[in-house]
Amino acid sequence: MGTTQKKQVKIKNVGNLPLDLVFDTKQSKLAGYTIAPEKIGKMMPSDEVMVAVTLTTKKTMKFGKSKLAVPVEVKNGAQYKMDLITNLTIPDITIEGNPENAVDFGKVLCGQRKTIFLRLLNEKEIPCEWSLNLRDGLTADKKEEVKFIMNPNSGKIPSGGFQIVEVNFAPSAEKEYQFKFPIKIVDNSRVLTLDLKGVGASIALDVQPSKIKIGPVLPYSAFEYEVLEIHNPTNYATELISLDFDKKFKEEEETIAAYEEIENYEKKDQSVLYLPVREPGSGVWTQVIKAVEKKKKRVELQKKLDTEGDKLPAEEKERLTKQLEDLNVVEQVVEYPRKVDSEVMLHVAILGPTKSGRTSVAQALRKEHKRAIVNIN
């Protein structure tokens, strides 16, 4: 309410005589319209005049389509009318395929993060601007840190368009989490509330017995031993590592510690670096290994140039310098769109005569396959 919409109307004298005209604005003013100018005098043949029609919305107005005829009086001429057609609505968004506005992440391991993508739809005739107001968010414990994140947390969706947002859940304790995301829509008093819930799970092993006691053993005698039973009561595959004897684990920890991205995150005061989940038994991420090897080679080349640079032949020094420059180039990460399912990764051309239902079929496919429509006309 209180917003304005302005349209320009061009009036042209297509007759052979000058004319004067007046807009009867008694009813249109009551309906919130203003017309300027209201009077046009002495329009010569072929003259053109631009008339501004402005609508200012009021609380008393009803939503929906309306039509108002404005009489146009032509001095010593015929009577005309100008129809003002308005569709009064408010911006709003819906979550596709989710009428309850609820997202259940299920069980997520502590230390991991699960992401669910939502498609926000604007099915209204006007653009919709929205933002997430976390200050009004509610949790069961208001002192608890929020474990849910929405990215992006604001946007503007054109009429008939959509915006994809991702919602992340990263639990830190083995318990249930609940949160409400209040989404504020500009020029709409209704707050869209997104109900989020998830359960934090953890890996646990059952070791029996919990303590082992081996009695005295004489030197050079037969060894003594006790049997441990390790049971995994969870639904998650688990890798058991001996911190004291597993050399591979120590090597992997050193590799991860040398990963430059971790240093960059620490410089930016960011506490978490997200990487794909490692399956039990798998090694260090390939991207981490390549980055660390590149870093080591860069350090070696720089050291050689600093200590032996003056003694090296010119060609060799130039070659090593070129290698070092190539290693110092920062690779640009290309953000590709989310992958489309192979089943619907194709274009559909709909052809047919007028009134054959092409538009209806296109709209149905758009909703079913989450497609965009392009009119080649």
Q: Do domains 4-88 and 94-201 have the same CATH topology?
A: yes
- Please check the confidence at residue 105 and state whether its pLDDT lies above 90: yes
170-201 pLDDT tens trace: 999 999 999 999 999 998 888 999 999 999 99
- Please check the confidence at residue 158 and state whether its pLDDT lies above 60: yes
pLDDT given for residue 140 in this prediction: 46
Cα–Cα dist 131/165, whole Å: 12
- Name the DSSP letter for residue 135: G
Please say whether the beta carbons of 291 and 261 come within 8 A.
yes
pLDDT given for residue 377 in this prediction: 66
296-353 pLDDT tens trace: 999 999 998 888 888 888 888 889 889 888 888 766 555 555 555 566 567 888 988 9
Q: In 3D, which of 299, 297, 289 has the Cα closest to residue 261?
A: 289
Angle at the Cα of 238 (from 171 to 225), degrees rounded to 5?
A: 130
Q: Where are the beta strands (DSSP E) in 216-325?
A: 229-231
The ranges assigned to domains in the chain are 4-88, 94-201, 256-328, 339-377
- Please check the confidence at residue 12 and state whether its pLDDT lies above 80: yes
Please say whether the beta carbons of 326 and 319 come within 8 A.
no
pLDDT > 70 in the chain, percent: 89
Please say whether the beta carbons of 130 and 183 come within 8 A.
yes
Specify the CATH architecture of the domain 4-88. Sandwich (2.60)
Say what the pTM is. Answer: 0.66
What is the number of alpha carbons within 13 Å of residue 75 lying toward its C-beta? Answer: 11
Residue 256: which pLDDT band, with cuts at 50, 70 and 90? Answer: confident
Cα torsion for 344, 345, 346, 352, to the nearest 10°? 30
pLDDT given for residue 215 in this prediction: 82
Angle at the Cα of 122 (from 117 to 127), degrees rounded to 5?
A: 125
CATH H superfamily, domain 94-201: Immunoglobulins (2.60.40.10)
In order of 48, 138, 172, 195, 199, the CA distances from 177 in angstroms are 66, 11, 10, 11, 6
